[in-house]
Every structure is written in structure tokens, then in C-alpha cells.
Structure 1
Amino acid sequence: MHKKILPYTSAHKDLSLRQKVGQLFMPAVFINDTEEEVTKMEQLIHDHYVGALCFFHSRASAATNFEGKKKVVHNEKSYNRLKTLIERYQKAAQQPLLIAIDAEWGLAMRIENTPQYPYAITLGALTNNLDLIEQVGQHIGLDCKEAGIHWNLSPVVDINSNPENPVIGYRSFGDSKDEVLSKAGAYLKGMASSGTLNSIKHFPGHGDTATDSHLGLPVIDKSLEELQENELYPFHQLIQNRVDSVMVGHLLLPQLDSEEPSTTSSKIITDLLRNTLGFDGVVISDALNMHAVSQRYPEKGKLEATAFAAGMDMLCFSEHVPEGITEILNTAIEAQIEQSFERIWQLKEKAFSHSKDTSLPKEPSGLNRLLAQNTLTELYGKAEEVSKIKSGEFLNLSVNNSSHNGFSVKIEEDLGQKQWDLTKDKATLETLLEKHQNVVLSIFPPAVKPKNNFGFENEVLDFIKHIIAQKNVLIYLFGNPYALDIMGLSPTSNAVLVYQDFPEFQEEAFQHFIGKLMAAGKLPVQLKTFQP
């Protein structure tokens, strides 16, 4: 690092109050920004003593993302660009910056051509093997450190109890509070071993909502007792193990605070998180540009000052840094500024004093293969049909979309059953379906989020439903398990959840298909079709 972090005693004495407030701001920066935008950010960092940055891929993909209407440009050299920008921004800073990113399943969440690990919902399918999740946390932490990132804003500890949840879903370890707690704990342990800072999110619990807080304000209408029984449980337990930070989500909890969302609620941040649960570390906001809160505060700097007054320490994705600093200086109590500054500085001292880890990031392939072997999940409504389908002649049918389908290719190469793609060979399929009663259907959903039926075109979805209704079908799903709920399955349907489309997961799925791998995973959420 080009600059050494000052000890807190020196920083406390040397920095002015305005500079201390600047340390509480974490503006967003983007891999694909223009030179003009980068220069402007360098000036902002220098002039306003900004304390941290959060990296995103591009303005089109970040936070509110304008409902996906802007095209996201692919950049093959994103990783090199990330490292270059970190170096430039650190040089512009008068005190070392904390560099943060959302790397819930690895840097690949934001950066192309970087290691990717399974989504939390996949890890949620593990029935034991917490050491594998610990390894995931360690791998991701090492990847972050190698890139120059100190702070991974993860894991998600929301309990995904609402299948219609548009934004958490696959990012949660499941719908059981105990499973979420144990798996998040293993992930945190692994990340801590790498020296990477963490943040559990989205307090006080974003799992039971059907609203996306990027676009609107979700309402969680539950009493404190109900929240303590479920949503708050993993937060409370993990806080006792001294997590580095807690990220507060944009949620309205009318039974706790009928007027302010959690982002700007002292009843939720100060009274509940600080006083009741006893958290004394850094409280960081979810992105302040998200429509759930940004549209409530049109006056520049007002949202930042209100969130700070409620008890927030770090203001993530603030779009109005100078105005926010001025507003906080005009309205805040000096003692609170000093307290938040001390928390942030202690986090910096921890990040910059951690001894250099000599172990380099490892390739993800071996770990991903182990995870595939231990998460594959059978959902068999009529198991006797499965052996009949596998042992006889069947139609090797797939819905590939943009994924490479090595699974169906392997079936064709090793078992001689030609692969047919439902999206390309529909005319031929009508004739083929007349000749085949048994179908092996491999499905790669176009999207991982449930919006617009996981990206399936209506015609394709209708055809899938038609085949499931008419034939003996064995599904291999390489994606979000909630996608099964829109396919017209019945309780007697047979499906295998593979969760990811990684090559290792496809190869292990084939081993399962030919009987050489037993499915060891357990579905971590409830599906409408497969109710117990």
C-alpha cells in the first residue's frame, strides 16, 4: 500500500471535523467509467477526504439499474481495470481508502473472468460439510485481497421465507433460521481467515417480501417478537461473534417505526441494533441511490444526514457527497461524528494491519466439483419412473438459452441419444414427441431472478408445461430451484436440482444420471410443487 494508515490517536488529533465526516462516505465507482468520470472521482476523493469506495461493474448494472433498460457492456479486461482503478483512487486519497465490493459468490458477481463460486441457495443444499462453505469464504476472501479489496459486503443472512422474493431468493442460504445461521457462520469463518472484512445483510431481514427495494419500499409488517423469533435470529447470534459490520436494508417495519424506513430509523438502527442487540461495530447502509429511499429525499444531502442521525456510520453509494458532508456538519452532534469516525478508523486499522497472507488465491474448479457432488438434490414424486426413463429409450431434450449444455452433449456422446434444443428444434420436436413417451429435459433458465418468469419466453414456457403434462419427464434444472414453480409440475413429477450451470456441476450431474453419483443435497427452501 502506498500510504500507511495513521494510528487512531493521530488521526483523531490531525483530521478536522469535516475530514472526519468525509471518512463516513462510500461513493460507488464503476469498472467501465470513462476517463472523465474517473478523474472527477479522483477529485472528489481528494477534496472531500472520502473514506471508502464500493466497486460496481457499470452504471447500467448497479443498484437501481433502471429496471434493466440500459445495456450492460461486457468487458473482457475488467479485472485488470479494477486493479488499475484501485491504484489510481488510492493515490488520489489523502488517507488510505477502504475498498469494498459485493462478492457474495466471488468477484464474478461484479467482475468478468474472475473466479465464481455457487450461490448461497446452492450452499444451502449441503446437509453437512460446513467445511466446504468455510473454504468458499476463504477462497473469496483471498481473491478479494489479491485484487486490492478489503471489504466483502457479504454474506446475506436474510431468511428467504417468501418464494416470491424478487431480490433475495438465490442469495439466501434458505428458509430455515438455523441453517442460515450455521452456513453464514462457516462462510464468515473462512473469510476471516483471509483477513477480509465482512458485512452481514440486510438488517433487520429482507427475506419475507415480494418487493424489490431497488425499485420500491418493501413492507415487513411483523411485531418485534415475530422478528426476534425468525428474521433477527441470525443477526443476533452472529453479532455476538463480533462481525465487522452490519448492512441495514431499505425496509419499512410499521410495527417498529410507522414513519421511517430502516435506513433512516433511529428506532431500528440505534434502539434495536445498537441498544437491544448490542452491536458496537460499523453500521453500513445499503446503496443510498436505491429508489426505496432515494425518492423520499429529493434534497441533496438530506438522506445522508437523516441516515447518519438515525445511527448509520458508513453511507454506501451516496450520490451527494459534498452536500451530505455539509448537511451532517450542520445538523449532527459532534460526539456522534467522533464515535462513527472511530468505528470506521478501527475498521481501517484492522484491514491495513492484517499480516499479508502468503497463500495465493486457489483455482475454484476443485472446490466447485466437491460442492456439486454434495449439493445435487433429487425431488422425486414418482421414483419408479426414473429408472424406467434412464434404462429405456428417451428423448434427450434441452432448453439451453445462452449456456453451454455439456450435460446433454455427454448424454449424446456416451449414450447415443441425440440432443435436441427446445428453443431451436420446435418443428422437429412435435414429430419426435409422438414417438417418445420418456423425456430427459435439461433446463438452463435464462435468468437467476424470478422477474418475467426467469427470462423464459411465454412460448417456450408453455411448451415445457405441455411436455411435462403429456410425457414421463425427468428434469435436470441447472439454475434457481424456484424456477420449477412456474413449469406446471405436479406432486408426481421427477426433478433433479443441479443449481449451477458450471462445467463441474454439469459433469457431476451426468455422473448422477448414469448412477455413479448419489444425490446428497437437500432442498433449502419450500417449493409449491414439492410440499412435504
Structure 2
Amino acid sequence: MIRSRRNARSSAAAALLVLVATVAAACAGPGSPPLPVAPSGATSPPGAATTSAGTGSLSSAPTATSATSGPAATTSSPAPTRQTSEGCARTIVADLTPAQLAGQLIMVGLAADARQDSLDALIRDRHLGGVILLGGWYNGVERTRAATRHLNAASDRSGGAPGLLLAADQEGGNVQQLRGDGFARMPSALEQGTLSAVALRQRASTWGEQLRAGGINVNLAPVADTVPDSLGRDNDPIGRWDRQFSSDPDVVARMVGAFVTGMHEGKVATATKHFPGIGRITGNTDLTTDGIVDRTTTATDPFLEPFASGISAGTDLVMVGSAVYSRIDPGVQALFSPRIVTDLLRGRLGFRGVVITDDVGAAKAVEDTPVGQRATRFVEAGGDIVLTARPSTVPTMHRALTGRMKADRGFRATVTAAATRVLTLKADLGLIGCD
């Protein structure tokens, strides 16, 4: 897997797995056939491409794990320790300017119908750390690889600057942003959930190899949300599109672990989403501010089990959603909540990796929050990468981060810690190097 040490099983995550395994969960899945179009934006973030540096040496040897946590992977060849990756990241971060630090915390979308060079100046001038391919890239692996190569060339690598995280939203079914020659058609997550964990891991490994061939180094998947049978397709962001593996969190947990392990065998990083779960809401945060309050989920909820499984399997990123959880932090959207990002995800679940937002550029759920504050509030809550589908928001977000750093030493330290986590991931992927 991609450096399993990065998100090694912590005692906190193990304790939560034991806790949630003892709690009864809702069973059964939604029942209607898939709809013909895919959801947009926040709940299905688009992808990005790899740099010419590649993704480093990643293992392909899985290890057996419990049914609760799902399969995990271990490195089968010599690899740097987490301390080595963190040390490398810290060395580079120490030499970055505020503008460069801020840029590493922003990922911007490149739409399939946009000019290939439309982001060049933004990537260079704002020192951006990542790009996600949005809107449906359906012309095969060659076109995708041409785009990722161009993006890598546009990135300023002078002086050992970090390479780009290049991502895609490749879940399967309606949410498969890369298609065409070289990309196998992936079944929906609901169909994937009927496979054995071993079979899903094997398929995910192949899908990961195809992504890597197209220059992608991060897959914004798997979906760890559980949609209760009582809600089913009335859950607009997930259930309506068959994006859940199951309505049983134990099954979801097994499939999440298998998917993460398989992607790592294919040498692609994963982003488990949408923490702490959007399976119990009715509204799609991309499209509305209505129906986005979850009044059920708690900090010890069985629906957190799939996220704990993803962490145990070594997921590299966790995506935090934009819903509100009244039994955890009333009135505060998850991505702006220290109780959710820092206390629950990093504390109780023990996640040490990169935390990324759902889309905060075009999503309706955040439209009342000033653009700059979408970045600063997320980072202040304990997050790392701000994902925006709208390139026009990048300068404002970048200025907000740099301005706040200059005015507040404490915030500068928070940004430095976030950038160190991002660059540790990049070191694991072979996108930076230290002598």
C-alpha cells in the first residue's frame, strides 16, 4: 500500500472499531435502478494527475485483517519510514514562503471542456499543490495522460519545489470521471458491495493501475457513507446514485478496506469520504442548503466504522463533508468544526494523514461563507487541502491564507503543520525528494 505507516493503526482507531462493532446498525440497501446522470461537484470531487516524478515504490502485498476493518496492505519492498517522509517534508516546508505554503493547501478543478492551459498561470503564480479533473473525461487514457503531463509541466519544479497531487473522482457507476479506451467501466459501489472483499481488492488494483497510466496519483474514493434502508434513494447525494457499498456499516467497512488496499496495490492514493458520513441527510450539499442537517450521527456512531476501517487500511486522505451534525457540533458545518476535524477524526479515530474538503468553490452549502473564510476556517479547524471546483475562487482563498499567516503567528504554525502533512504525502508518492 502507499506507505501504510502514514495512517498506521492507532490505539484510538482500534478502540473505536471495537466500540462500533458492538452497536447494532441499520441493514438493507436502496432498491431502484441507477439514474442516468451523475451528481455534480462536492459529493463527487473530480480528479488530478501525477507528476513526472511518479508515485514512488508502493507495495502490492496485502495482509489479512479482521472482517470489521477489511483487508489491509503492507509494503513488500524497502521504503522510507514515516519519520523519513516527515523529515523530508519538514526540510522543504522550512524553506517555503507564505505564498508557497498557502498554495500547497489548495486543489483546483480542471473541467473536461476547459482549455488544457487554462490553469497554467494559476498553478505557477499561486504555487498550487494539486489539480482535480472535473466534468467527465471520456476520451480515454491518452487524453488524460496528455492533460496530466501538461499540468506537471506547468508546475514550477525549480529549486526542488513539490510536484502536483493530480486527482480524479473514480468511484464507479454514475461517478466515474475518467472513461474511454484504457479505463474499464466500473460498476456502482452498490454492485461492488456484493463482491467478496478479495474480489473487490483485485478489481480496485486494476482500476488503480489504469489511473496511474493516465497520470493520476490520487483517487477521491472510496465512499464510506452508509445510507440506511429506511432512507434509500431519498438520500440525494449518495443513495440516489447507488454510491454506497451497502446499508450495513459492517459491509461498508469491509468494502472500504478492500478498495483502499486495491488502489494502493495499483500505486494510487485514496481519499475516504465524506466524513463523518452524509448517508442520513436528504439534501445534496453541492446543490442546496436544505436537508443537510444530520440529527442522528454521534461521535460513537456505528456509521463511523467504515471510516475507521479506511484509516486502518491506510487511506492517505479523508474528505470532510459540508453537512451539519447536531449531535456532535450543532450549527457548525463539518469542514469548519474543530470538534469533527480535530477532536473526532484526528483524535478519536487517530487519523494522521491529509484532510481535504468536499468542493467549496461552487457548492451551495457554503455560499453564505465568504470565499476566503472557506479556506481559513477549514485550516483552522484542522484541515489541510481546500478543494475548489471554481478556479476564480483561488486568488481570494490564497490571499486569505497568506494574509492571515502574516497577521497571526499561531495561524502560520497551523498552516505549516498542514503543509507538512501534505508534503509528507507527496514524499510518500515520490513527488518530492530530499538528499
The TM-score, its normalising length taken from structure 1, stands at 0.58
- Cα deviation for residue 258 of structure 1 reads 2.0
Distance 1:110 1:178 in 2: 28
Higher relative contact order (CA 8 A, sep 6+): 2
Instruction: Describe the shift of the 1:76–1:54 C-alpha distance in structure 2 as closer, same or farther (beyond 3 A).
Output: closer
Contact 1:250 1:292 in 2 (8 A): no
- Cα deviation for residue 132 of structure 1 reads 0.9
Instruction: Describe the shift of the 1:178–1:45 C-alpha distance in structure 2 as closer, same or farther (beyond 3 A).
Output: same
Residue of structure 2 equivalent to 1:431: none
Correspondence for 1:122 among 191, 208, 231 = 191
Residue 154 of structure 2 corresponds to residue 92 of structure 1: yes
Residue of structure 1 equivalent to 2:101: 20
- Cα deviation for residue 329 of structure 1 reads 2.4
Residue of structure 2 equivalent to 1:307: 378
Distance 2:307 2:174 in 1: 24
Distance 1:138 1:309 in 2: 35
Larger Rg: 1
Distance 1:82 1:317 in 2: 20
Corresponding letter in the other structure for 1:158: D
* Secondary structure in 1 matching 2:172: coil
Distance 2:297 2:109 in 1: 34
Residue 117 of structure 2 corresponds to residue 39 of structure 1: yes
> Where does the alignment leave 5 or more consecutive residues of structure 1 unmatched?
59-74, 355-532
Correspondence for 1:174 among 246, 249, 272 = 246
Corresponding letter in the other structure for 1:31: A
Residue of structure 1 equivalent to 2:144: 82
Residue of structure 2 equivalent to 1:294: 366
- Cα deviation for residue 286 of structure 1 reads 0.6
- Cα deviation for residue 200 of structure 1 reads 0.7
RMSD between aligned residues: 2.4
- Cα deviation for residue 76 of structure 1 reads 6.1
- What are the superposed Cα offsets for residues 29-85 of structure 1, whole Å, 9 maximum, x if unpaired? 122213xxx434100000111000111136xxxxxxxxxxxxxxxx76354332222
- Cα deviation for residue 205 of structure 1 reads 0.7
- Cα deviation for residue 345 of structure 1 reads 0.4
Task: Count how many residue pairs are aligned between Structure 1 and Structure 2.
Answer: 330
Contact 1:283 1:312 in 2 (8 A): yes
Residue of structure 2 equivalent to 1:326: 399
Residue 216 of structure 2 corresponds to residue 149 of structure 1: yes
Identity of aligned residues (%): 26
Instruction: Describe the shift of the 1:183–1:47 C-alpha distance in structure 2 as closer, same or farther (beyond 3 A).
Output: same
Q: How does 1:118-517 map to 2 (within 5 A)?
A: 118-126=187-195, 129-161=196-228, 162-163=231-232, 164-169=234-239, 170-217=242-289, 218-222=292-296, 224=298, 228-297=300-369, 299-317=370-388, 319=390, 320-332=393-405, 333-352=411-430
- Cα deviation for residue 241 of structure 1 reads 3.6
- Cα deviation for residue 327 of structure 1 reads 1.1
Contact 1:107 1:143 in 2 (8 A): no
Distance 2:258 2:328 in 1: 31
Corresponding letter in the other structure for 1:282: V
Distance 1:237 1:89 in 2: 33
Contact 2:335 2:357 in 1 (8 A): yes
Instruction: Describe the shift of the 1:107–1:291 C-alpha distance in structure 2 as closer, same or farther (beyond 3 A).
Output: closer
Contact 1:106 1:115 in 2 (8 A): no
The TM-score, its normalising length taken from structure 2, stands at 0.71
Instruction: Describe the shift of the 1:250–1:119 C-alpha distance in structure 2 as closer, same or farther (beyond 3 A).
Output: same
Distance 1:106 1:134 in 2: 17
* Secondary structure in 2 matching 1:27: strand
- What are the superposed Cα offsets for residues 147-198 of structure 1, whole Å, 9 maximum, x if unpaired? 0000001100111112111221211111101100111111111111121100
Contact 1:83 1:147 in 2 (8 A): yes
Residue 169 of structure 2 corresponds to residue 102 of structure 1: yes
- What are the superposed Cα offsets for residues 261-284 of structure 1, whole Å, 9 maximum, x if unpaired? 112111211121112222111001
Contact 1:105 1:118 in 2 (8 A): yes
Residue of structure 2 equivalent to 1:63: none
Correspondence for 2:131 among 53, 59, 72 = 53
> Where does the alignment leave 5 or more consecutive residues of structure 2 unmatched?
1-50, 56-84, 157-161, 406-410
